[in-house]
Amino acid sequence: MSDILIPFDREKQDYVGFSASKLFAAVYPEAVALAPLIASPYWCRLAGGTEAEQARFFAEVASRVTYPYPPPNRSDDAVAHWALADSWRPPSRPPDDLHARPRPRHPARRRREPPRPSRSDR
Kindly report the pTM of this predicted structure: 0.58
Query: How confident is the model over 25-40, as pLDDT tens digits?
Result: 777 888 888 999 988 9
Q: Quick one: pLDDT at residue 50?
A: 93
With beta carbons less than 8 A apart as the criterion, state whether 110 and 120 touch: no
On whether the CB atoms of residues 38 and 82 are closer than 8 A, the answer is yes
pLDDT at res. 8 = 73
